[in-house]
A = this chain, B = another copy of it.
Amino acid sequence: MADPKSDLIPHDPEPRVGLPPGSVVFVGAERTHPVTFQVLGYGPGHVAETTETCVDEVLGSRDTTPVTWINVSGVHDASVIRSLGEHFHVHPLVQEDIAHTGQRPKLEAYDDLLYFVVNMVYVDDREDETLHAEQVSLLVGEQTLISFQEAPGDVFDPVRERIRTGRGHIRDRGPDYLAYALLDVIVDHYFVVLEAFGTRTEALEDVIVEEAPTDVEDDLHDLRRDLIFLRRMTWPMREVLSQLARLESPLWDEATRPYVRDTYDHVVQVLDLVEALRDTASGLHDLHMTAISTRMNEIMKVLTIIGTIFIPLTFIAGIYGMNFEHMPELGWPWAYPAVWGMMLVLAGGLLLYFRTRGWI
């Protein structure tokens, strides 16, 4: 289990540096809960379910049902993984990968065992909607499936329920179908997370759109979002039609093929246009940003010109508004016109300066 932030940092891998490969060392957030085992044996007609806390009992109690599913909650106890690994002839590197959480999902096929690592993601409501990822390892054997979770959880409950009640085909099939069912449940959880993400995106959209005091950028945003949507709709259409144009099927007449190719060309043209429109819309955003910045420049230029001219003049007027008793200029007869002249010269000089800078 890792929140996305701390996952950016690999979980203190240093202790592993230089260990012989196949060393089973748990790497991840520290966990102390005891490891539990849920053992579920089933076949077309019957189900047997026990929960153990000791690996030896699990291996001892293995009955002879067509399928036995051992769910191990906790991978922080290296001895458990080693015991199970030895019993089921699991390659040491696989044992290491089970314990070393934070693996990249992968599939490895051995002669008598398939090994999957997948990531389960979920949003923890209790902890301020943080996103969590948990590594789930599956070992698929002839008659056995062993699943490893990092912590006890109820994510596999729906599958368990289906086995108990015998709904669907699950009891009639082997461990591979069970593996599929578990993968499917995990992938379905991604949609739950995505829904939370969609909600977050929309909430942000509402806040941001509200604060945007201009319709233009709003409309532009809508356009871009709609184009994203349209592309998402069209891309797989292209795949479908490309497949169809190459389809060999008794149901699909050879003579219809050129027509399909024609429709395929249309879809490709749609995609070309969507991409061109997206590029254009992105260019429009750039243009709009430049327009806003340029307008700001214009506004500031007006303020600066007015301020730069009148602030010094007001200062001069302020000087001769002072009430000192000994200000000889105040008594001179030509002082007032002289001050006016000085002010005009100053203002004219500033205007000239602005003109040379190209501001007016």
Contact of A107 among B131, B169, B247, B330 (CB under 8 A): B247
A86 at the interface (CB under 8 A from B): no
Contact of A8 among B112, B173, B280 (CB under 8 A): B280
A119 to B315, CA, bound (A): 67
Q: Say yes or no: B336 contacts A233, CB within 8 Å.
A: no
CB A179 to nearest CB in B, in angstroms, measures: 8
Q: Say yes or no: B326 contacts A323, CB within 8 Å.
A: no
Contact of A292 among B131, B158, B293 (CB under 8 A): B293
Q: Say yes or no: B209 contacts A287, CB within 8 Å.
A: yes
A356 at the interface (CB under 8 A from B): no
How many identical chains are in the complex? Answer: 5
CB A265 to nearest CB in B, in angstroms, measures: 6
- Known contacts: A201-B284, A258-B91. The answer to whether A18 contacts B158 by CB under 8 A is yes
**Segment of A48-56, A62-70, A77-85, A159-167 engaged in the interface with chain B:** A159-167
A297 to B214, CA, bound (A): 11
20 A/B residue pairs, CB under 8 Å, sorted by A: A12-B195, A17-B189, A20-B169, A93-B259, A109-B247, A112-B251, A118-B240, A140-B251, A177-B259, A197-B223, A205-B284, A211-B295, A212-B294, A213-B298, A214-B290, A293-B296, A306-B312, A310-B311, A314-B318, A315-B317
Interface string of A189-218 (1 = CB under 8 A from B): 111111101111110110111011110111
A240 to B114, CA, bound (A): 12
Chain B residues whose C-beta falls within 8 Å of the C-beta of A104 in the assembled complex:
236, 265, 268-269, 272
Q: Which A216-230 residues sit within 8 Å CB-CB of chain B?
A: 216-221, 223-230
Q: Say yes or no: A212 contacts B287, CB within 8 Å.
A: yes
A133 to B116, CA, bound (A): 34
**Chain A interface main SS type:** helix
Q: Say yes or no: A270 contacts B240, CB within 8 Å.
A: no
Q: Say yes or no: A300 contacts B299, CB within 8 Å.
A: yes
Interface string of A322-343 (1 = CB under 8 A from B): 1111110111111110010000
A124 at the interface (CB under 8 A from B): no
A187 at the interface (CB under 8 A from B): yes
Q: Say yes or no: A283 contacts B177, CB within 8 Å.
A: no
A60 at the interface (CB under 8 A from B): no
CB A79 to nearest CB in B, in angstroms, measures: 18
Q: Say yes or no: A266 contacts B188, CB within 8 Å.
A: yes
A87 at the interface (CB under 8 A from B): no
- Known contacts: A17-B188, A104-B272, A236-B106. The answer to whether A336 contacts B322 by CB under 8 A is yes
Q: Say yes or no: B321 contacts A322, CB within 8 Å.
A: yes
Q: Say yes or no: A216 contacts B207, CB within 8 Å.
A: yes
A304 at the interface (CB under 8 A from B): yes
Chain B residues whose C-beta falls within 8 Å of the C-beta of A5 in the assembled complex:
202, 225
A153 at the interface (CB under 8 A from B): no
Chain B residue with Cβ nearest A235: B272
A244 at the interface (CB under 8 A from B): yes
Chain B residues whose C-beta falls within 8 Å of the C-beta of A91 in the assembled complex:
258
Q: Say yes or no: A187 contacts B276, CB within 8 Å.
A: no
Contact of A201 among B8, B105, B175 (CB under 8 A): B8
A57 at the interface (CB under 8 A from B): no
- Known contacts: A107-B243, A114-B249, A321-B322. The answer to whether A216 contacts B208 by CB under 8 A is yes
